[in-house]
Structure 1
Amino acid sequence: MSNQKKRNFQIEAFKHRVVVDPKYAEKTWKILEHAIHEIYNHNASGLSFEELYRNAYNMVLHKFGEKLYSGLVSTMTLHLKEISKSIEAAQGGSFLEELNRKWNDHNKALQMIRDILMYMDRTYIPSTHKTPVHELGLNLWRDNIVRSNKIQTRLLNTLLELVHRERTGEVINRGLMRNIIKMLMDLGPSVYQEDFEKPFLEVSAEFYKVESQKFIECCDCGEYLKKAERRLNEEMERVTHYLDAKSEAKITNVVEKEMIANHMPRLVHMDNSGLVNMLLDDKYEDLGRMYNLFRRVPSGLLTIREVMTSHLRETGKQLVTDPERLKDPVEFVQRLLDEKDKYDNIISSAFNNDKTFQNALNSSFEYFINLNPRSPEFISLFVDDKLRKGLKGVSEEDVETILDKVMMLFRYLQEKDVFEKYYKQHLAKRLLSGKTVSDDAERSLIVKLKTECGYQFTSKLEGMFTDMKTSQDTMHEFYASHPELGDSRTLVVQVLTTGSWPTQPSVTCNLPAEMSALCEKFRSYYLGTHTGRRLSWQTNMGSADIKATFGKGQKHELNVSTYQMCVLMLFNNADRLSYQGNRAGNRDSCFRLEKVPAISGLCEGEECSSERTYE
């Protein structure tokens, strides 16, 4: 047995000839055809869908799929032609209602028919590359209803008329519109686009072309923009209610082109209400609306920027070149700051902090601020005014804000070294006179300048503060080493490093004997404790406090320059003085000074300044 070859056995079904009734296909189709008629006639409740499915299944199984499919097409077409007549007969407002009702009926019928013919849908149709039942039903509805000669144009005109009525303020049945538009979308993108969207956009363009022309003739710029914005919002709302979402970009483009792009130059330059007037009157709401509308069209923001820049440069040029405004440097700079604040607020509130507008603003300020060669000096004088007089009732944060604004103007300057020259002079006067509002504020500005321009720019300014601190220590040590002078610090000396402080021409000054003796004591002390140095008195940079008694015993304290102190001290010993000298042009001049009636007094204190140099 083991040597015998194994055999394979296969069991096959008994073969016999199946005899099919020659009238089977016709009989079965008649049953199915009747069922389709009943479905369209709303009599489907009495049908056995299980039996109908089995009949359709057997027809396909017995190779009668073609008969079943072609019969379906013929039967559905027959019913749709009858439905078309019913829709055509509908009058007025009932036209769309009838179309919508029949469309819903057709969809329900189509669902039941597809259930019955499911086996054909899954087997026969894919193998023969025919259109599936549901898609077939939509195509037949499209060809026999939507695109029939008597319905297609009427349907389009009805839909466009309803849109027009809604645009002119009437209330329409949006639910019905949504259903009809969705029907077109369900029939395929091409149906919606060709049969509705394309003519809808064309009609809309004409509508807004006419309306925009009417509005621009009777409205000012702000009113026109409000109407354009409202129309744009209406179209976007219309899309959400009953149009295809993909239509939003298309219809908004139409509104933007017809109402904004085609009228931009006229809008921005409109007399008494255009962009310049909005800027002048700080109309943030109108400016914001213009920005948001113009940004939607090509070159819209560029148009706004160009007009704003042109206006800003022209007004800025007038500001910095007007002789009347140049009489008060502090007011000059304050107006610049106010103008900058104004446009910063506009860009922030109305132009969405757009960097391109901020850049245009900076460019404009840089342009006109440098038209005036005295701008660096005026900015330094502005700082001097704020830090010398102080800001009453203003917090440190507010001082910082002002300094930040000053730095903003400083960045626009092309001649920053000119600013440095004037700033050094003004800072020196504040420090030497002790009239700076706050060392912290002074140092804060130095830090800002250092951050902006680097160490080299501020090294000498920082040296000035170092000298002031060193001088305080020196004076403390001086009086400590001369107890005979007591606690009344009649003399205060600042020892200044050559090169750090601004140099000014100094004339020979004969100090009063009281001061001269004190100065000599300080010189001896200083040179005795510091070798290799020399002192040069800069009386032109000093000041003095003089206590004086006027008539009727009135006592006053005068703050004067060192030169003024020298002259006033002479009147301690004389009531009248005269002076004759040689002035320019070699012409002799005589001066006569008289003592103020009943003025007498003695210099109680004097602040002198000197330069320190290295041998």
Structure 2
Amino acid sequence: MSAPKKRPFQIEAFKHRAVVDPKYAEKTWKVLEHAIHEIYNHNASGLSFEELYRNAYNMVLHKFGDKLYSGLVMTMTSHLREISQSIESAQGEIFLEELNRKWADHNKALQMIRDILMYMDRTFVPSNNRTPVHELGLNLWRDVVIHSSKTQVRLQDTLLELVFRERNGEVINRGLMRNVVKMLMDLGLSVYQEDFEKRFLFVSANFYCLESQKFIESCDCGDYLMKAEKRLNEEMERVSHYLDPRSESKITRVVEKEMIESHMHTLVHMEKSGLVIMLLNDKYEDLGRMYNLFHRVPEGLTIVKEVMTSFIRETGKQLIMDPDRLKDPVDFVQRLLNLKDKYDKVITLAFNNDKTFQNALNSSFEYFINLNARSPEFISLFVDDKLRRGLKGVGEEDVEVVLDKVMMLFRYLQEKDVFEKYYKQHLAKRLLSGKTISDDAERSLIVKLKTECGYQFTSKLEGMFTDMKTSHDTMQGFYASLGAEFGDNPTLVVQVLTTGSWPTQSSPQCNLPSDIIGVCDRFKSYYLGTHNGRRLSWQTSMGTADLKATFGNGQKHELNVSTYQMCVLMLFNNADRLTCKEIEQATSIPISELKRCLQSLACVKGKNVLRKEPMSKDISDDDAFFFNDKFTSKFFKVKIGTVVAQRESEPENIETRQRVEEDRKPQIEAAIVRIMKSRKTLEHNNVIAEVTKQLQPRFLANPVVIKKRIESLIEREFLERDKVDRKLYRYLA
């Protein structure tokens, strides 16, 4: 008989059959409600938070979460109404303190309540789409306390009153302000903006509108800007101490609009203290403040730039057009450099090296420098003066600085080829007379010009230096070939100048003394014997000579004179008295040059080796000249310069201009051919525009002249007109 089978052991789920007391929810809520009251009444020390948490947990667990949540809302609302009445009853300055204290208490209470109801907050609230406990507490504080009919406006007024008092110099409780404003921000950005910021900005605009009007009527420009800057800094400081950082841009915009933008035209044009007066008196601090403040508002810097540009242009125009200033070219250019230095300093120290202002300054200088057609000549004369005499008490480095500044003026010139023409003449005189402070300085300037305008611009200038070196070697060879044979003949130093590199012009040959002719012929024979296919012509207008002269009582001097002056003085070796007409016939020196020579020999005090009768500065054909036996000088070597205007006379200037215009013609034609060769066909206006652009680095081509050169090229069959469209040109290959 088999044993009975044992059934397997089974574990069944525990069936919770606990019966909940019908009054459980009510009793539990009463415990929790009492705890909330105690928390708000500052009696939380006697509460068991663990037990309270368990009660709240069980209520949610037993599906009484809705009762718990609604009870919380009612209880908190009740307490907040009491708090609101307490705050409303606070008088004067105690109002904010009471509000701040109650807010701090509410936050502490809210934290404890949140801890007790943590389970509800994590389960019931999200599943039933309710507001979390902390956020609920903030919303109830906003609706019941802050937005109560008696508190809302009063809070706004109190906060704005404190700001007003602080703006007027009173000390306020910034800590209290910070706490109250932070309360508004904690309640939500919209609360802060609607309940404070919006009205704060409106009231501030009115405040600064009235204040700026008062300041503009009583302050000069510098003082007004100082006050505006101070107000801006105060508002930024105010934000950093107790306002929302996002308010900074808004309140500063209010100050900028009311104190700067609304009055910027008035400030800039103030008669005795505006921008022009600041510029005249080098008010760098005030100018810097104006730049920084106007930089903050739309079109602010544009107004400053326009007024500055207009003033600089007018100032420069007056300088350029002043007849008295034009009498001294060196002083004229120095004043331009001083003006440039002045405004460079303004832009550096006050305008933060703003490129816009630097461009405006460059544009202004380019405008007024080119109003005077003689600016290229004067700038070259200035360079000539500095490279001849140097700068008193300074070294070569300082000369470099001056040359760099001059190059800036050179960049402004529209007729750089005119400058080149004069510069070649002045450089030639310096090199031939040996009167230059430094070859390094000369070459440095040529490098600067090459960098600015290219190799073609300076190729002839560099050729002049090459000729000087070659001439030195040639003279050594010449005297080596003569040996002891030379004897007591005059010493000759010749500079052989390459035609085309030097600004030599065909000038009438003066009659050299026979002693000089002999040695000149010897050199000519030597040079042509060593170089085939070359031709020499003497440029007597460009030479100098050293003469040994004996005056009364046997007093001897060495006279440094021009070649023309030498020819005149050596006539008196064989004559006691000569008229101007006789001297002209004997020497064949052009009469205009001769008169200048005679003036320098007879009419300059301390250099009058000749006497003139009648004595006057003007020279006529019948004036008589005598050797001055009584001439004395404390120097053994006496330099007698030629009386000559530092700047060209009007006829000379016209002649130079004509030569420049002639030189431009082939350059314009070359540009036209280059353009047409690459484009094949081009309309007339486009040809003018492209030629002008291509030649702009050297000079500003005249459209009329360009048109004439086009006609010339058509005649020579480089170009032709289109048979249909007469304004269209074609390149003929």
TM class by shorter chain equals over 0.9
Distance in 2 (CA, whole Å) between partners of 1:305 and 1:377 is: 31
User: Given the alignment of the two structures, is residue 33 of structure 1 paired with residue 33 of structure 2, yes or no?
Assistant: yes
CA contact (8 A) 2:490 2:515 kept: no
User: Given the alignment of the two structures, is residue 559 of structure 1 paired with residue 591 of structure 2, yes or no?
Assistant: no
Distance in 2 (CA, whole Å) between partners of 1:488 and 1:42 is: 127
CA contact (8 A) 2:560 2:638 kept: no
Alignment correspondent of 2:105: 105
- Aligned to 1:509, what secondary structure does the other structure show? coil
Alignment correspondent of 2:537: 536
Distance in 2 (CA, whole Å) between partners of 1:489 and 1:83 is: 121
One-letter amino acid of the structure 2 residue matched with residue 430 of structure 1: R
Alignment correspondent of 1:376: 376
Distance in 2 (CA, whole Å) between partners of 1:10 and 1:206 is: 86
Post-superposition CA distance 1:110-140 (Å, at most 9, x none): 0000000001111110111110000000000
Alignment correspondent of 2:528: 527
Aligned positions of 1:565-604 closer than 5 A: 565-578=566-579, 579-580=581-582, 589-590=621-622, 592-597=624-629
1:478 CA displacement: 1.2
Alignment correspondent of 1:139: 139
Distance in 2 (CA, whole Å) between partners of 1:604 and 1:316 is: 41
One-letter amino acid of the structure 2 residue matched with residue 553 of structure 1: G
1:536 CA displacement: 0.9
One-letter amino acid of the structure 2 residue matched with residue 257 of structure 1: K
Distance in 1 (CA, whole Å) between partners of 2:393 and 2:489 is: 33
One-letter amino acid of the structure 1 residue matched with residue 355 of structure 2: K
- Aligned to 1:499, what secondary structure does the other structure show? coil
Post-superposition CA distance 1:384-407 (Å, at most 9, x none): 111112223212211110000110
Distance in 1 (CA, whole Å) between partners of 2:390 and 2:551 is: 30
Distance in 1 (CA, whole Å) between partners of 2:423 and 2:77 is: 95
1:260 CA displacement: 0.4
1:598 CA displacement: 5.5
- Aligned to 1:345, what secondary structure does the other structure show? helix
Q: TM-score, normalised by structure 1?
A: 0.94
CA contact (8 A) 2:235 2:252 kept: yes
Q: TM-score, normalised by structure 2?
A: 0.79
Distance in 1 (CA, whole Å) between partners of 2:81 and 2:554 is: 123
Distance in 2 (CA, whole Å) between partners of 1:353 and 1:149 is: 56
Alignment correspondent of 2:501: 500
One-letter amino acid of the structure 2 residue matched with residue 90 of structure 1: A
Alignment correspondent of 1:287: 287
- Report which of the two has the higher share of strand: 1
1:604 CA displacement: 13
Once superposed, what is the RMSD of the aligned Cα atoms? 2.1
Alignment correspondent of 1:240: 240
- Aligned to 1:546, what secondary structure does the other structure show? strand
CA contact (8 A) 1:547 1:604 kept: no
Alignment correspondent of 1:263: 263
1:521 CA displacement: 1.3
1:410 CA displacement: 0.3
Alignment correspondent of 1:612: none
- Aligned to 2:547, what secondary structure does the other structure show? strand
Post-superposition CA distance 1:254-276 (Å, at most 9, x none): 00000000001111001110000
CA contact (8 A) 2:390 2:399 kept: no
Between the two proteins, what is the percent identity of the paired residues? 79
One-letter amino acid of the structure 2 residue matched with residue 577 of structure 1: L
1:482 CA displacement: 1.5
CA contact (8 A) 2:88 2:150 kept: yes
Alignment correspondent of 2:307: 307
1:509 CA displacement: 1.9
- Aligned to 1:478, what secondary structure does the other structure show? helix
Post-superposition CA distance 1:89-108 (Å, at most 9, x none): 11111110111010000000
Distance in 1 (CA, whole Å) between partners of 2:10 and 2:321 is: 113
CA contact (8 A) 1:181 1:242 kept: yes
Distance in 1 (CA, whole Å) between partners of 2:253 and 2:511 is: 85
One-letter amino acid of the structure 2 residue matched with residue 462 of structure 1: E
Distance in 2 (CA, whole Å) between partners of 1:197 and 1:106 is: 24
User: Given the alignment of the two structures, is residue 62 of structure 1 paired with residue 68 of structure 2, yes or no?
Assistant: no
1:487 CA displacement: 11
Post-superposition CA distance 1:484-521 (Å, at most 9, x none): 23799811000000000002232122222221111111
Distance in 2 (CA, whole Å) between partners of 1:592 and 1:218 is: 76
- Aligned to 2:525, what secondary structure does the other structure show? helix
Between the two proteins, the alignment pairs up a number of residues equal to 593
One-letter amino acid of the structure 2 residue matched with residue 492 of structure 1: V
Alignment correspondent of 2:165: 165
Closer, same or farther: CA 127–223 of 1 in aligned 2, 3 Å: same
- Aligned to 1:246, what secondary structure does the other structure show? helix
Aligned positions of 1:179-578 closer than 5 A: 179-484=179-484, 485=486, 490-578=491-579
Distance in 2 (CA, whole Å) between partners of 1:129 and 1:467 is: 100
- Aligned to 1:491, what secondary structure does the other structure show? coil
- Aligned to 1:135, what secondary structure does the other structure show? helix
Closer, same or farther: CA 160–262 of 1 in aligned 2, 3 Å: same
Closer, same or farther: CA 76–486 of 1 in aligned 2, 3 Å: farther
Of 285-294 and 393-402, more deviation after overlay is shown by 393-402
Distance in 2 (CA, whole Å) between partners of 1:114 and 1:441 is: 86
Closer, same or farther: CA 456–79 of 1 in aligned 2, 3 Å: same
Alignment correspondent of 1:5: none
- Aligned to 1:422, what secondary structure does the other structure show? helix
1:10 CA displacement: 9.1
Post-superposition CA distance 1:309-364 (Å, at most 9, x none): 11111111111001111100001100000000000000000000000000000000
CA contact (8 A) 2:489 2:515 kept: no
Closer, same or farther: CA 145–599 of 1 in aligned 2, 3 Å: closer
One-letter amino acid of the structure 2 residue matched with residue 443 of structure 1: R
Distance in 2 (CA, whole Å) between partners of 1:598 and 1:477 is: 42
Distance in 2 (CA, whole Å) between partners of 1:384 and 1:16 is: 116
One-letter amino acid of the structure 2 residue matched with residue 593 of structure 1: F
CA contact (8 A) 2:509 2:538 kept: no
One-letter amino acid of the structure 2 residue matched with residue 595 of structure 1: F
Distance in 2 (CA, whole Å) between partners of 1:323 and 1:57 is: 102
Alignment correspondent of 1:155: 155
Closer, same or farther: CA 599–251 of 1 in aligned 2, 3 Å: closer
User: Given the alignment of the two structures, is residue 95 of structure 1 paired with residue 95 of structure 2, yes or no?
Assistant: yes
Distance in 1 (CA, whole Å) between partners of 2:89 and 2:293 is: 46
Closer, same or farther: CA 459–199 of 1 in aligned 2, 3 Å: same
Of 487-496 and 271-280, more deviation after overlay is shown by 487-496
CA contact (8 A) 2:490 2:516 kept: no
Distance in 1 (CA, whole Å) between partners of 2:345 and 2:492 is: 52
Give 5+ residue unaligned stretches, structure 2.
1-7, 592-619, 640-733
Distance in 2 (CA, whole Å) between partners of 1:22 and 1:435 is: 123
CA contact (8 A) 2:558 2:638 kept: no
One-letter amino acid of the structure 2 residue matched with residue 153 of structure 1: V
- Aligned to 1:537, what secondary structure does the other structure show? coil
Distance in 2 (CA, whole Å) between partners of 1:418 and 1:286 is: 41
Give 5+ residue unaligned stretches, structure 1.
1-7, 606-615
Of 335-344 and 571-580, more deviation after overlay is shown by 571-580
1:9 CA displacement: 11
Closer, same or farther: CA 489–357 of 1 in aligned 2, 3 Å: farther
Distance in 1 (CA, whole Å) between partners of 2:229 and 2:69 is: 54
1:590 CA displacement: 4.1
- Aligned to 2:252, what secondary structure does the other structure show? helix
- Aligned to 1:55, what secondary structure does the other structure show? helix
- Aligned to 2:493, what secondary structure does the other structure show? strand
CA contact (8 A) 2:221 2:267 kept: yes
